[in-house]
Amino acid sequence: MTRPELATAAADAFARVHGGEPTGLWSSPGRVNLIGEHTDYNEGFVFPFAIDRHTVVAARLRDDRLVRVSSGLRDGVEEIAIDDLAPDALDGWSAYALGVIWAAGELGGDLSSVRGVDLHVESDVPLGAGLSSSAALEGAVAVAIDELWQLGLDRRTLARIGRLAENEAVGAPTGIMDQSAVLLGQRDSGVLLDCRSLEATVVPLAFEAQGLAVLVIDTRVEHAHANGGYADRRASCERGAVGLGVSSLRDVSVDDLERAQQLLDEETFRRVRHIVTENARVLAVVDALRDAGPRSIGPLLAESHASMRDDFEISVPELDLAVSTAVAAGAIGSRMTGGGFGGAAIALVERDDLASISRSIHDAFAAAGFTEPATFEVLPSQGAALV
C-alpha cells in the first residue's frame, strides 16, 4: 500500500473498532540497515535509512484515563488504564504500543493529567523480516502521543522512549538504531548514528541520483529478538568487554584485535572481532559515499555479510543464498540486514538490473527447495510524521 492508502485503511478501521473519526493519523517507516549490525548496543556506529513501508496509527483522545489499542493484524482490543501501565502488566503485540506510553512517562513526559487515548494500527512493514516493524510501531505511537498530549519531546528522546519500551516492556535487548532511523530519517539519505553519544548525522546516499535501487529479499524465515540468539550474542559482547577491561566494545580498535585473541576464548574473540571490524566498516562506507559515491561500497557490504556469517554466526542458509545469488547476478553489493537468524538481505543494484536480479534469486530459492522469498524495492525515505 501507499502511505495514503494505509492512512485511509487506518481511519476506516478506527471508525469500525472505536466509533467515529480519529483526531489524527501518524505514520512511521520501517528501516533498512545499510551497514552496522549488532554494533548499536555496543555503543558503536550504525548507518540505517528509513524506508517507504510504514505503520500508521489513528488516534483520538478519550474523556477518561484508559488506553485502548487495536490492530488490523489482530482481533480484539487491548485496554489498560494509564496509571496501571508497567512492564510486567504488558505482553503480546500491544506491549510495543503500550510500552511506549509507559516509557514516555519514565523519560520526561508528564502523564499525570493526560486524557486516555484510542489507537488503531495498520502497517505494511513485513513482520519478522528484519525491517523493524517494531520500531515503526513504536515511532508512530511516540509521535502521536507527543502531539496529542503536547509532551514537547524531541526526536532523540522519542527514540530513547522506543528503546526503553522494547527493552523493558517487550523484553528484547535491542539498541537504539531502529528507533533513531525511523524518527530521524530523510529522503535518499542515511542516518549515521553514534550509539554512545546519540549524535546523528544525515548523510546523502545519492541512490536515486545515480540510478541505483535497493532490493530487499525477505527470506520468510521469521526471527524473534526477545528470545535465543540475539540475547546470547549480546551476552558474548559483554563478556568480551569485561575480558578486555573496557566499558564497551566501542573502546576496542582493529589494532587491539591481536591482543584480544590472546585474552579471550575463541568464540568470544570472533564475536568481538565482528563488532570491532563492523564499526570500522560503517565509517568506511560513509567516507566512501562522500568521496567516491555509492557504487564504491560493494566490497564493504560483502565484508560485513561474511563477518556476520562467520564471526557472529547470525546468518542462515537462505540469507547466504540470497546474498551470493544477488552478487553473481550483478548486484553492486549485498548483505543480510537486521538482527539475523532469519529476516531479510539487501542488495544494492543498478535500477535497470532490479527485475533480472530478483528473478535470479527466486530461481535459486526454488532450486534449493526453500520457501519462496518476497523481493521488493525500498526507497530511502522520510521519518515519522503526522500524515
Could you report the per-residue pLDDT of 314-330, keeping only the tens digit for each? Answer: 999 999 999 999 999 99
Residue 130 is assigned to a ligand binding site: yes
Active site residue 178: yes
For the chain, the farthest-separated pair of C-alpha atoms sits apart, in whole angstroms, at 66
38 among the known binding-site residues?
yes
Q: Is 133 annotated as a binding residue?
A: yes
Lowest mean pLDDT, pick from 123-132, 168-177, 336-345, 369-378? 123-132
Mean pLDDT of 84-90: 97
DSSP string for 225-290: TTSTHHHHHHHHHHHHHHHHT-SSGGG--GGGHHHHHHHS-HHHHHHHHHHHHHHHHHHHHHHHHH
**Average pLDDT over all residues of the chain:** 95
* 71 annotated to bind ligand: yes
Compute the average pLDDT of residues 289-309: 98
pTM greater than 0.75:
yes
> What are the boundaries of each domain within the chain?
3-204, 212-378
Residue 224: predicted pLDDT: 59
- Choose from 227-231, 340-344, 365-369 the range with maximum mean pLDDT: 365-369
Which pLDDT score is estimated for 231? 86
* Fold that domain 212-378 belongs to in CATH: Alpha-Beta Plaits (3.30.70)
| pLDDT digit string, tens, across residues 220-270 | 998 655 456 888 999 999 999 999 999 999 999 999 999 999 999 999 999
C-alpha cell at 74: 489482530
pLDDT for position 227: 54
Confirm whether residue 132 is marked as ligand binding.
yes
Q: Which residues lie below 8 Å from residue 242, measured CB to CB, with a gap of 6+?
A: none
Q: Which of 178, 218, 311, 353 does the annotation list as catalytic?
A: 178
**Residue written as grid cell 530487499:** 216
Mean pLDDT, range 328-339, rounded to an integer? 95
Please report, for residues 115, 298, 309, the alpha-carbon distance to residue 142 in angstroms, rounded to integers and kept in the order given.
16, 35, 34
Cα dihedral 232, 46, 196, 103 sign: negative
Alpha-carbon distance values, 205 to 53, 108, 281, 292 (Å): 18, 34, 16, 11
d(CA 9, CA 21): 12
pLDDT in tens, 108-159: 999 999 999 999 999 999 887 778 899 999 999 999 999 999 999 999 999 9
5 annotated binding-site participant: no
The three cell numbers locating residue 120: 488503531
Q: Where on the phi/psi map is residue 59: left (φ > 0), alpha (ψ -120 to 50), or beta?
A: beta
Cα of first residue to Cα of last residue in the chain, in angstroms, is 14
Q: What is the pLDDT of residue 154?
A: 95
Q: Is 128 annotated as a binding residue?
A: yes
- Give the pairing of strands 117-123 and 77-81: unpaired
| CATH architecture type of domain 3-204 | 2-Layer Sandwich (3.30)
Residue 183 has pLDDT above 60, yes or no: yes
The reply, when asked if residue 72 is annotated as ligand binding, is no
The answer on pLDDT for 184 being more than 70 is yes
pLDDT at 311 over 90: yes
Q: What would the mean pLDDT of 69-81 be, rounded to a whole number?
A: 95
Residues facing 385 on adjacent strands: 27
